Homo-oligomer: A and B are copies of this chain.
């Protein structure tokens, strides 16, 4: 049986992830330590290694969950009936940035920083999210657009997140600049 202690104090994957996420929200991958997570959980750091092979795997568990959320958001916009294509595109871009700035450290690991430890795990998820994003764009634009151009648009949004992460604590703080940048990016995309 995998289930154990029906009592109070159990150390579960879920519990570890929860605490790890809390630390991960505020600090970057390398600043968060297994020992500190353990301390907050009231267990030894060794115990965490029973539930997760290593730090990378623990963080990937978080990243994966959050990216499911991003994929869902993309789908929601694509399937929404209340907007025309232009509005959809605008919202898609803005949501992408919003997600990036509200999940800064997860985003960093997925799309920005190459991290030998985490890469092998995150690459697939990142690629999946990108393809959802690219497909969404294709559907929202009247004439077919070169893949290269979509890629440039993606890169452009990535740049926004890449720069503002660290300067800003949440999307709200950069909302104005984000809207400008989204319009900027749309202009290049649509007039192509």
Contact = CB atoms under 8 A, between A and B. Distances in A.
Interface of A: 30, 111-114, 148-149, 151-153, 155-160, 162-163, 165-167, 177, 180-181, 184-185, 187-189, 191-192
Is the contact region of chain A dominated by helix, strand, or loop, or is it mixed? helix
Contact of A162 (B158, B181, B189): B158
Contacts of A158: 159, 162-163
Contact of A188 (B111, B159, B160, B185): B185
Most buried by B among A163, A167, A191: A163
Most buried by B among A149, A159, A167, A184: A159
Nearest to A156: B156
A87 to B, nearest CB: 19
B155 A160 contact: yes
A111 B184 CA distance: 20
Contact of A156 (B166, B184, B191): B184
B111 A166 contact: no
Nearest to A153: B184
B152 A155 contact: no
19 contacts: A30-B30, A111-B163, A114-B166, A114-B167, A149-B180, A152-B156, A152-B185, A153-B184, A155-B156, A156-B181, A156-B184, A159-B162, A162-B162, A162-B163, A184-B192, A187-B188, A187-B191, A188-B188, A191-B191
Contacts of A163: 111-112, 155, 158, 162
Most buried by B among A156, A181, A191: A156
Contacts of A189: 184
